[in-house]
Structure 1
């Protein structure tokens, strides 16, 4: 399910269960983790790609504008900023994982380490 916590009607967030369903359906998506490398070392969603937020602008050319991409961080704040920047720069299919990796760990993978 895609939601809009800011109430702007722009559907820029996806809940953990919605992402789980997309992954289970083998959807053609990019999972981009904008946390720092030490955070990714603690836990990560399989097949996610690490691009720290501070590197995103320089590495945006590595991303596809044709695919849906889900941005991931710890609680959803950094990835929300990344999603907004990407959308302002032509990545119209960028989505933010609501609640970040912490929501994923609580709701989808309860055995995943949390920090």
Structure 2
């Protein structure tokens, strides 16, 4: 991907990226109890409060789609990641709530 990675994408864009086989890292920054309720398949859980200590677990060589409940915490995490050298971090607008409502109606909403 030679173009600059967008600061945020919507759930339809994420779904089409997944379907096209794009190499993505899905980072869920919600609390563990939220992640246990529902999560986008293939995502890793690193709660927002622990991100500074655990950022080294994330790849810098591919796009990281940052996910939370509605998009607020993931926007904070995306800004922090970009400030700290993760230029391919992207916020998922609407979070798992939008994913459940538009992409996967079997996913629990809360």
Coarse TM-score class (shorter-chain normalised): over 0.9
Q: Distance in 2 between matches of 1:74 and 1:98?
A: 10
Question: CA-to-partner distance for each residue in 1:26-84, whole Å, 9 max, x for gaps?
Answer: 21110000000100111000110000001100001111111100000000000000000
Please, which of 74, 79, 87 is the counterpart of residue 84 of structure 1?
A: 79
Q: Distance in 2 between matches of 1:107 and 1:13?
A: 17
Please, which of 35, 41, 47 is the counterpart of residue 46 of structure 1?
A: 41
Q: Which runs of 5+ in 2 are unaligned?
A: none
User: Equivalent residue of 1:109, what SS?
Assistant: coil
Q: Which runs of 5+ in 1 are unaligned?
A: 1-9
Please, which of 41, 53, 57 is the counterpart of residue 52 of structure 2?
A: 57
User: Equivalent residue of 1:66, what SS?
Assistant: coil
Flag as ranges the 4+ runs of structure 1 deviating above 3 A: none
Paired residue total: 106
Q: For the aligned residues, what is the CA RMSD?
A: 1.0
